Amino acid sequence: MMQTVLLISMMLLALAIGGCLYRVLKGPSIADRIAALDTIGVNVAAEVAVAGAYTRSTAYFELVLLMGILAFIGTVALARYMERGRVLDAPDDTTGD
C-alpha cells in the first residue's frame, strides 16, 4: 500500500515539474520564469526524497539538502541579477590610491 502511495506521489511530482517547465518556456515575464525554476528545484528535491523513501535508503537525504541549498542560491542570484543587472558587486575604485 505504501509503495503505491509513493509511486503516485512521484508521478504527481513529475507532472508538477512538467507544468513548471512549460511556465519556464512560455512564461509571460522573467519573474514568472524564475519562480517556475525555483519551483522545479523544490519539486526535484521532493522527488528525490520520495525516491529515498521508496527505496528505504537514507543516502538520498544529503542530496536533497544539497539540491535545496543550490536552488535557493540560484534563485537569489537570479533575483539580484534582475534587480541590479549583475550578481556580484564590483569593487569600488574610487579610493584614488
Residue 96 scores a pLDDT above 60: no
Contact 45, 5 (CB under 8 A): no
Q: How many CA atoms lie within 13 A of 62 on its CB side?
A: 3
| Position 97 confidence tier, pLDDT thresholds 50, 70, 90 | low
Q: What is the pLDDT of residue 11?
A: 97
Q: What is the pLDDT of residue 92?
A: 63
* Higher pLDDT, residue 16 or 91: 16
pLDDT tens string 20-78: 999 999 989 888 988 999 999 999 999 999 999 999 998 899 999 999 999 989 888 88
